[in-house]
Structure 1
């Protein structure tokens, strides 16, 4: 049976090649997508005890205020471990004040650095390349680093026992661990031994409840075997009353504990204010649907070509039946042909996927990162093999039943013709292909239009020609005034300012008290702080009042709010109203109102915002320069930096580049859909080429007669294309509303939407019509150009 199937496939190698190529593309897309989905759906599952590990998060609320936060107080975990049975271990991660590493008179900024407990190895099973997990973080002034940081510091050597300086401390490297996998929701590159208890945690020998309401890091807990999070939450009420509510009752507040299982954090549906980037389940559903559609397109190609060629195989089927082959054996033989092509395509697809992942820029372009681990993952390998066998059966089962029903007598007489139902099935399958291809094409165009819209929309401030330089420690910040004075003498420099916060991305959140209804009420606001040139540097206009002057000395006497804050509070005339920090004895006053601007990405609405004057320099030196003078400005700033701080690296980025990263997930989604659109188009066109070539071959006599009777080549092209054109129009009528509904729902992720661009819809449909016309018309035109005498003589 296998030998016979191979012989048949070789005899019809053109159509076999088209089938194999189509199936290869379809299976390659499916294998890549399965690996992508496995990577996405196994976030944090590489940690041994991920089912027993939970992140401690909170909902802290009071009148006018609610914090839904992933962060916790470092003082919390020892208390929970002591008083709540069922907790096996915990680990805390505290922020490093100055995220910079110094080594051998060189320094560089390093993100993802934390103070932590020695028990971090109980929670996260880090793979130490050198060092001992039992002792690595036991001693003060110890630090462990990731392999990537080690390579940056020490090259190819592992820097065990080397001394580096972080946060004004000399630290000994006691371990180097493998970089965490990319599908880890919380990545860290440097871990320093020691979590310090804050001074105000104890007052006169009594635990200060307020400290628990002031988060300073991340807390993770490992529960004992057999203990569930429900067990901990059930015991938490007395603990909450004892430790949280003494301060909570003072502010008429409430606290709710959340325990998020490690492996579910990445796709946790509940929105958390300050969480890490989360996955979007809708995206996975979209990608899976499109991936399945691509595989179905490849199957449809096989079905169409197999059934279309039924007339050519009718005599073969008839002879086999006459020679005694029963129907079931015949069907098995025809299914074997399909399975052979599927397996060959599977082998080619594996090679293609390996090349795309390991030896091409595809992953980088798409913005995803995972390794080719098909053969290291037996369940994945068996899963893809099952998909291949299922694909072979799906693709082959209809042709097998269809061809096996050919009657021997009519086949041998040469009078067998395909039934109308068979032709309708083929047309229906081609229509389905066109619906998928056009629908995915239109969705891609509309997604790109929305992403382009948000990237170019006015956010209410000037995001171009703004450079940011890191000033992360006291030394670099001490040179701020000198650098500002020098830089402002350059003609290409417009403004210089400083802040810990950046519009568009890096914004704080804090509780204020505001004058409302004759009393001071607490409200939660976003806030930024900076110098007197902040608004001028970013081109943010004032709606009313004034801004800070160079004479300011205090950061809590005067405030500037945005228009949304004034509306939220209910102030018709906000200038002069009282406003102050939560613990501020004497409130300050509002001196001005900024025009609203988007201080987060355009996925989010504008929120109430307070600008606080900061008399001290912040973590960012911010420089605005003249248009088209970026290179000159960069050289000038670097020269001033090197003059003032010769031993510090010059690290900078541009604001528009930083803002662009806010939409990285959207661009990744768009690129994935674009990639899949291309595959849909290729597979559909492969099928169209095969069917067109077959139809031309079947209608050679008709084309020759029409030529003899005076028909011109364009007329013949029009005649042959009319059927395809009709199917395309019907497919467009179906695909357009489907694409419209899908993109309309996807656009709900954005606060600002461009609306459906019907011009792009027309462009997409037109492109499909033109492309298929060029393809079909080219093949038909080439056939119509042949001498009809030769064609009719052959017939």
Structure 2
């Protein structure tokens, strides 16, 4: 019997190729989109789960409370983690990492390694970074020990054994020994390193006694707790721990530290602090909802297309019932057809998804998957889903088609009831409500990204070439050699540029009450050219000038946010106030207008600037835009001439700053593409209902044409009902889209307003899409010869 069902199902599908194609294509696209989104969501949720002890690993973070503010940072001082290991039996092990970059040389092979990290010897005890060669217990124990990933080892040593070989770091000043080779770190790891250098190199050789420092922040610390230990219980003991070790120092500096433990698995998506890489939990929820919406639309589309053919198949049902076919048998036949369509769509979706994975990886900006078989449970899961979708989507058409009365059907009196019509219209309304939500959301995401790209940031970043001199002794000579060369307008040196990392400095500044207000403020170390070159504007006072000899020792410029923090009502009031910072004392000589030195996700924080060329390693070169390639060649030649042992690397300030919005840009692209898919499937559903309605009203159209109705009248008649459904969907979708996207915009400190035109554009666009979808069938029906339409009467 089942074989017979499949045979009839195949014949029926082949007989009605157009309907079958639309049905299968809708489900195929829906399943493929759901499969790809599922891969993306699974990947984002899997960050750091590959560590076997991930449920016991915690990141140690700090709240720094000063009299004026609280800073929530993702780092600790260097002594916190070792102190906790000594004091608390709950701590099985700890490891600290610190990002670095080095010029690395092996013979004539030389590269700039930007993914280098200092790490404690316990790194491989805490994390499951698999060593292929070397002892995980001792690989990072000795000073100047280096562990490389496979690809990094191959880059320097080819196919030869790197263990025991020497690599020269930091312009040949450090001779490091390769003590291990590890597997390439998975993509879903927050720690993405190409090489690890022993932490003792940093804390004992380069910065002696740093391990004993309770006030200098910079270490990203991880704790591995013993099985059965409760993180919340340990966290309650930390205030007493800090008081016993450094309470006196905290009181003298008027600072309070609060330590917290963040579960490793939650850091990527849940932490509101910084990190090497950050995800967005809201985006995960949005994409999960989009996947459900797309699959729901596909199922609705399937139901509508199946019922659209009910009039055509009514006589088939009548004849089969006349010959003794029961309702259950008929329902089973239609369910088999439904499941068959789902299985065919499943097979096609696997092929489509497989071909789209490289494109999807590129769109997501990371390697989500290497192939459909990489995630073993995904394919069986999708197959089971296909069967369930086939059964659920086929139940309603099966019940409707199998319940036709053969006498009425064979007499040509087949009509559907009000409930059936209401259900189909409701389904189309739901489809277009979802589509309109996605249209509105896409427009809001686009306007927010445009707002971020076009907003006045308060500084100039165009045509600004950035070179990191990394403390090279002759960096000042190199910089001076560029002045006056063809294509170069000016040069400047600094410790930071907008969008990059910057120092936080313990500062004491005279406030409105005349007291020294303590704060942990941002600090840019710059030279005299920096402010003019970046076109930073002043709100009061003056910029640094070589005409004032004291500017190099006891002058500071603050931004407007710092002025507000100090309690002054105007920038002018802060001029001449005293400060103490990192061993320097002096007076504020100017207040610069606020500029966005971090992304628009964050409000502008207090910032200070001081003259200190000796610690300004970043060289900013303002170049002309007419021949960038030639200018780059000139700069590179000067670099090779003065620093032949260092590789030349550079980036542009505008591209560097815009990297902060890459995740939003990827979200925008992904959202737009999946919104298009959802709209496409919705159009197929509308096409199904339009087809059904046209078939039902064929004779009515013929009568109207005989009585003189024009083609326009007929098209308007058939379109009116569908367009009213779209407008109803708009009314339902608009408040839902407004609420959801308003919540999404809360992730940005500076955001655009949701404009009325977005909803007007969505309404117009949805009407155009709907009319474009049904116009073909409407026009075709209107042009049909009425004699042919009425020939059955």
Q: TM-score, normalised by structure 1?
A: 0.92
The 5 Å alignment of 1:33-112 reads 33-96=37-100, 99-112=102-115
Q: CA–CA distance in 1 between the matches of 2:702 and 2:159?
A: 73
**What residue is the counterpart of 1:563 in the other structure?**
560
**What residue is the counterpart of 1:525 in the other structure?**
521
Q: CA–CA distance in 2 between the matches of 1:310 and 1:741?
A: 39
Q: Following TM superposition, by how much is the alpha carbon of 1:237 offset from its aligned partner in structure 2, in angstroms?
A: 4.8
**What residue is the counterpart of 1:660 in the other structure?**
658
Q: CA–CA distance in 2 between the matches of 1:267 and 1:333?
A: 47
Answering whether residue 114 of structure 2 is matched by residue 119 of structure 1, we say no
Single out whichever of 322-331 and 119-128 deviates more from structure 2.
322-331
**What residue is the counterpart of 1:221 in the other structure?**
223
**What residue is the counterpart of 1:351 in the other structure?**
351
**What residue is the counterpart of 2:13 in the other structure?**
9
The 5 Å alignment of 1:585-604 reads 587-604=585-602
The correspondence for 2:509, drawn from 495, 514, 519, is: 514
Structure 1 residues 414, 704: closer, same or farther in 2, change over 3 A? closer
Q: CA–CA distance in 2 between the matches of 1:91 and 1:350?
A: 43
Secondary structure of 2:192 counterpart: coil
Structure 2 gap segments, 5+ residues each: none
How far does the alpha carbon of each residue in 1:264-286 deviate from its partner, in whole angstroms, 9 at most, with x for none?
111224x22x4333222211111
Answering whether residue 180 of structure 2 is matched by residue 175 of structure 1, we say yes
Single out whichever of 148-157 and 755-764 deviates more from structure 2.
148-157
Q: Following TM superposition, by how much is the alpha carbon of 1:443 offset from its aligned partner in structure 2, in angstroms?
A: 1.2
How far does the alpha carbon of each residue in 1:242-271 deviate from its partner, in whole angstroms, 9 at most, with x for none?
2132322333443322122211111224x2
Q: CA–CA distance in 1 between the matches of 2:405 and 2:226?
A: 70
Answering whether residue 241 of structure 2 is matched by residue 239 of structure 1, we say yes
How far does the alpha carbon of each residue in 1:517-568 deviate from its partner, in whole angstroms, 9 at most, with x for none?
2332312211211110111110112222222223657755110111221122
Structure 1 gap segments, 5+ residues each: none
**What residue is the counterpart of 1:256 in the other structure?**
258
Q: Following TM superposition, by how much is the alpha carbon of 1:325 offset from its aligned partner in structure 2, in angstroms?
A: 4.1
Q: CA–CA distance in 2 between the matches of 1:744 and 1:67?
A: 27
Single out whichever of 145-154 and 744-753 deviates more from structure 2.
145-154
Q: CA–CA distance in 2 between the matches of 1:194 and 1:453?
A: 43
Single out whichever of 748-757 and 464-473 deviates more from structure 2.
748-757
Secondary structure of 2:589 counterpart: strand
Q: Following TM superposition, by how much is the alpha carbon of 1:705 offset from its aligned partner in structure 2, in angstroms?
A: 4.8
The answer to whether the 8 Å contact 2:541/2:589 transfers is: yes
Single out whichever of 549-558 and 523-532 deviates more from structure 2.
549-558
Q: Following TM superposition, by how much is the alpha carbon of 1:638 offset from its aligned partner in structure 2, in angstroms?
A: 2.5
Answering whether residue 186 of structure 2 is matched by residue 187 of structure 1, we say no
**What residue is the counterpart of 1:575 in the other structure?**
575
The answer to whether the 8 Å contact 1:319/1:408 transfers is: yes
**What residue is the counterpart of 2:496 in the other structure?**
501
Single out whichever of 42-51 and 778-787 deviates more from structure 2.
778-787
The answer to whether the 8 Å contact 2:361/2:369 transfers is: no
How far does the alpha carbon of each residue in 1:81-103 deviate from its partner, in whole angstroms, 9 at most, with x for none?
2221122222222344x532223
The 5 Å alignment of 1:321-720 reads 321-358=321-358, 361-372=359-370, 374-475=372-473, 478-480=474-476, 482-490=477-485, 492-516=487-511, 517-550=513-546, 552=549, 556-571=553-568, 572=570, 573-581=573-581, 584=583, 587-616=585-614, 618-720=616-718
The correspondence for 2:166, drawn from 163, 167, 171, is: 163
Structure 1 residues 673, 484: closer, same or farther in 2, change over 3 A? same
Aligned length: 781
How far does the alpha carbon of each residue in 1:1-37 deviate from its partner, in whole angstroms, 9 at most, with x for none?
3424334333333222211110111111111111111
Q: CA–CA distance in 2 between the matches of 1:313 and 1:785?
A: 25
Q: CA–CA distance in 2 between the matches of 1:390 and 1:404?
A: 20
Secondary structure of 1:591 counterpart: strand
The answer to whether the 8 Å contact 1:562/1:609 transfers is: yes
Q: CA–CA distance in 2 between the matches of 1:429 and 1:55?
A: 48
The answer to whether the 8 Å contact 2:525/2:613 transfers is: no
Q: TM-score, normalised by structure 2?
A: 0.92
Q: Following TM superposition, by how much is the alpha carbon of 1:378 offset from its aligned partner in structure 2, in angstroms?
A: 4.0
How far does the alpha carbon of each residue in 1:398-453 deviate from its partner, in whole angstroms, 9 at most, with x for none?
22222233233323433231112111111111111111112211210121011011
The answer to whether the 8 Å contact 2:498/2:657 transfers is: no
Single out whichever of 27-36 and 327-336 deviates more from structure 2.
327-336
**What residue is the counterpart of 2:146 in the other structure?**
143
Structure 1 residues 519, 701: closer, same or farther in 2, change over 3 A? closer
Secondary structure of 1:607 counterpart: coil
